[in-house]
A and B are shown apart, each in its own frame.
Chain A
């Protein structure tokens, strides 16, 4: 059974701080890794993807991948109250369906 694990949270950080969201996966054949943001009552929105080991930066977001440790993370710099949402990690082997984690709820307080 392929699994993606995330701490459900909530993760509470003050405005302006760095939020660090973590995800581990069980399938060593995983090749593609995605982060989705889901506001309460809304559908998930793709915010980052990463395919290679290392860091990938996009604005205030940085995705980090370590395939040897089967670990992927999302850093949000200068966190804003508008970043408060549930963040879903999703993993794929590229030959099978996406596997989603259950999400981490992030709360950014002023």
Chain B
């Protein structure tokens, strides 16, 4: 069966520090991968998606970036965090682009 791992579960980072969140999927090949952010009491905002290795599409311009160095690995990064980057970050995968998405357990990021 397929599983998705996302870490860390919680993170407190100072403003201006770098960020690296990692997500891996097991049990499937060539998944579509997604990074979402959910601000407190808000809906899911799609940040990036990838349909293949090295292919990254950005939905929202901001100081975040994403990379997919391996088929089942998706990384969310920032060089300098802002207070507004605080939120609940979710990695997800799907078999078909636009199909049902399955989420990792999420990372709660607090920028202080």
Contacts and interface: CB of A to CB of B under 8 A. Distances in A.
B98 A42 contact: no
B46 to A, nearest CB: 6
Nearest to B46: A97
Interface residues of B, number: 21
Interface string B40-62: 00111010010000000001000
A45 interface: yes
Contacts of A95: 97-98
Contacts of A97: 34, 46, 49, 59, 97-98
Interface of A: 32, 34, 41-46, 49, 88, 90, 92-98, 100-103
Given A88-B44, A97-B98, 7 more contacts: A32-B99, A43-B105, A46-B100, A90-B101, A94-B98, A95-B98, A97-B59
Interface of B: 34, 42-44, 46, 49, 59, 90, 94, 96-106, 108
